[in-house]
Structure 1
């Protein structure tokens, strides 16, 4: 594991309890995010591919009960062991494992869908192709991808300092245009694009994408 990934993992180990305290119940106050997740779940179930989905970068596992309540069968993956420990404690009853989006612990075409909820904002440029390729690898043809992200310029930012808990890490807020290009190049077809203006302390718009995994041999897009 490279130094940048080590730093990101260690920072999120320390963030696990912070997230646990501050993000609990947040989804209930966010109707737009719930609507996007609902769309993903409905499309995934309608595809009749089994309903097995993975929340990649699941953090404390806060989305898994909601996803399960919409009929899919979720599991969680996160880079940080500390996040997985808190997820098992706070949101039990689901499979969790430590893993990296650039080398996912799943067989080819083994999932009906993947969720990347603000988890792709840590990908440096040189890792993006591998990450999107892995997401495409593990989703069955006809399955779905959903993500929430900060719609920015893709440039490197240092995160964590403002929290005053002794952590720093790199973050990259890819634009919606780049996100869609990455999806297209890796074999996904866009189904839905949405966004909302920044609120509260947010400094950039928030973006949402749903895409469908193309059949083998089908042209991208």
Structure 2
């Protein structure tokens, strides 16, 4: 494990108790996030097959019951073993495990969809590319990816607010163009994007994206079109 990943894991082990205390029901106070998750879950429900989705970077598992109420079967993974321990303790009816977003414990095409809810913003550009490719591997053709992220100019930062708890780690406030380009590069078609201004207790605006993994037929057609010379 590289130094940045180790630092991130250890920091979130420390923060697990804080997240448990402060974020457990925060989704109830966020109608815009409810709307984005509702749209994502509605599209997953309308697609053929089961509704098993990955919650990538699930933290303390706070979204699991909310997603289940929307008809999903969430399977949460997180880099931090302490986050996973808290999630299993607080939400024993749901499935959680420790994993890196760049090496997910799911088979090819196993998931109907996945969410990365403020979880892919800790990765540098190359590692971010690996994570999107891994998401494309585990989501079946026609399945969906939903993301929430801190919006900015893609520059490397340090998580200054975490210093109050004695930890620090890398973070990126991502531009909409960066997120959309990573999704497209991995084989997803963007079907929804949105943003909102920073709230009174936030340092930056928030961004949201939903993308659909191209079906095999569409991917083949795009490949052929891309290889056809004009003239």
Gaps of 5+ in 2: 224-231
Do 1:79 and 1:100's aligned partners in 2 also have CA atoms closer than 8 Å? yes
How many residues align? The count is: 220
1:47 counterpart residue number: 47
1:166 counterpart residue number: 166
Higher mean C-alpha deviation, range 156-165 or range 18-27:
156-165
* 1:92-103 map, 5 Å: 92-103=92-103
1:182 counterpart residue number: 182
Deviation of 1:203 (Å)? 2.3
Structure with greater Cα Rg: 2
Aligned CA RMSD, in angstroms, stands at 1.2
1:24 aligned onto 2:24: yes
Gaps of 5+ in 1: none
Do 1:49 and 1:143's aligned partners in 2 also have CA atoms closer than 8 Å? no
TM-score where L is the length of structure 2: 0.92
State the alpha-carbon separation in 1 of the partners of residues 160 and 138 from structure 2: 31
2:153 counterpart residue number: 153
Aligned-partner SS, 2:165:
coil
Q: Which runs of 4+ in 1 moved over 6 A?
A: none
Deviation of 1:60 (Å)? 0.5
TM-score where L is the length of structure 1: 0.96
Aligned-partner SS, 1:145:
strand
2:227 counterpart residue number: none
Aligned-partner SS, 2:122:
coil
